[in-house]
Amino acid sequence: MRSRLNPARRSGATAQASALWEDLHWGLRPRQRLSVRRPNIGRALTALGRLEAVEYSTNKKGDGPSVYRHEFGEDGGRKPHLAVDPASRDLHIVGGSYRVERRGIVD
């Protein structure tokens, strides 16, 4: 599995994103950059429903390629909502009481 990191131009923001990626992947260094279109956040979003969990695959140092599933609200936290921008159809996670720490997504 290849390591990936967002955007293109080298800047302070890119260096900050790279450092965060390395921290969240427990010391692995990103090997390539993934150029992506920035999501459009319009003036209004359409709620799709309450987000129960998020699941993704990645490679973390010491864990190797793995699938991570995070249930929202497990520790009494508020669940976020999944919403869509009506113009671009981009998805967004809105609200909730989760945060991202080195160990992963917690709420």
Q: What is the CA radius of gyration of the chain?
A: 15
Q: 83: how many CB neighbours lie within 10 A of its CB?
A: 20
Confidence (pLDDT) at 10: 55
pLDDT in tens, the chain (107 residues): 444 445 445 567 778 888 888 888 888 787 766 666 777 787 899 999 999 999 999 888 888 889 999 999 988 889 999 999 999 999 999 999 999 888 888 88
Confidence (pLDDT) at 1: 42
Q: Model pTM?
A: 0.68
Confidence (pLDDT) at 2: 46
| d(C-alpha 75, C-alpha 24), whole Å | 21
